[in-house]
Amino acid sequence: MGMWQVIGQTRALSLLKRGLAAGSLAHAYLFVGPAHVGKMVLAVNLAQALNCEAAEPPCGECLSCQKIASGKHADIQTIGLGQGNSTEARPRAEIGIDEIRQLQHSASLPPFEGQYKVFIIDGAELLSTEAANCLLKTLEEPVGKVLFVLLTTNEQLLPATVISRCQRVELLPLAAAEVESALKKNWGVEPQKARLLSRLSHGCLGWAVCAQDDGLLSQRADRLGELIDIIHADYEGRFACAAQLATEFGQNRELVQEKLALWLDWWRDLMLVKVGSTDLITNVDQVATLTEMAKAHSLAQIRNVIENIRVAGAQLRLNANPRLVLEVLMLNLPEVGRKRVKNANVKFENTAERRP
């Protein structure tokens, strides 16, 4: 039935297809899943399915489907803080009440050119409290031919009252093999690159598709370079790096979390290489470097680093002092073939004492 573009997500899809076939769709859905897993693609597909003019919706080809795909259909509205190019420095902000009021007004009018009005709220966790309360009223008094689709990467940040008014649909990361084959088949990515991107994407196909153009891959290369520099740096170098990262954190928190995620991948890979499971690693293009580096570290050291990176990430999310968190992380990295800077231990102890 229809040309659904979302890849994988069989459970979510079959739930929506059943609802469509039986005419028993909910008035509001909450799509939950990591960034780039396919929430927006599925929401747009659903809007197409509701407005498609073909016998087997969504056809993807009729005027209605095309307009929706290009964001030009008068009855489909998407609000949010802009869909994420994660490399962009964007200050955190909220979806305000004015946007929700506008959307409510629009929902009160009949469909303009299609059969169904669909309102997609991207990043619903960013709704301000006022906006969420305002939206709640609409969700409590559903109108026919109007569908709300809320997308979120973190439902814990949404009020329980809003969640309870929506039907929850979870989108899970795909298997690496699924991403790899979709990249080759649907996007014509060459095999080696498809393999690397599928691993780096952690099952979020949208990320891999975005990364095709090499921007994200060259950014990754820079970040890997930085990581390897840090591993080989002396304490002075590591302190400098902690300071720089703390400054970056002040400007763009997500960017530092992304770097930590990359470091975590790297050290997990080292662990996998160490225990002989090289076939499971993420950085499949770095086997030689990983193998070499694995020799220089014990399993216990690697485990420690993994734990320390996790703790640092969690502390940063809890608003701990970024400079201190990052210094502790840097100083706890094992030393690799560089001599200790004089008094580094003293510095470290002082840092530890200052921790809250």
Residues lying near Zn ion in the complex (CB under 5 A):
52, 54, 59, 62, 65
Measured from the CB of residue 60, what is the shortest distance to Zn ion in angstroms?
6
Measured from the CB of residue 73, what is the shortest distance to Zn ion in angstroms?
11
Residue type, 242: A
Cα separation, 208 vs 213, whole angstroms: 10
From first CA to last CA, the distance across the chain in angstroms is 58
Measured from the CB of residue 56, what is the shortest distance to Zn ion in angstroms?
9
Cα separation, 238 vs 231, whole angstroms: 8
* Residue (54 or 227) nearer to Zn ion, CB: 54
* Residue (19 or 159) nearer to Zn ion, CB: 19
Find where tokens 């609802």 sit.
Answer: 19
Measured from the CB of residue 65, what is the shortest distance to Zn ion in angstroms?
3
Could you tell me which of 139, 151, 156, 56 has the C-alpha nearest to residue 104? 139
Measured from the CB of residue 177, what is the shortest distance to Zn ion in angstroms?
31
Locate all alpha helices (DSSP H) within the chain, ordered by sequence.
Answer: 10-22, 39-51, 63-69, 97-108, 129-140, 160-164, 176-187, 191-200, 205-211, 215-232, 235-251, 253-274, 287-295, 299-317, 322-331, 344-354
* Residue (61 or 98) nearer to Zn ion, CB: 61
Is the Cβ–Cβ distance between 30 and 41 less than 8 Å? no
Measured from the CB of residue 258, what is the shortest distance to Zn ion in angstroms?
37
Measured from the CB of residue 57, what is the shortest distance to Zn ion in angstroms?
6
* Residue (62 or 264) nearer to Zn ion, CB: 62
* Residue (52 or 169) nearer to Zn ion, CB: 52
Report residue 330 as tokens: 């840097």
H/E segment holding residue 121: strand 117-122
* Residue (34 or 60) nearer to Zn ion, CB: 60
* Residue (52 or 331) nearer to Zn ion, CB: 52
H/E segment holding residue 167: strand 167-170
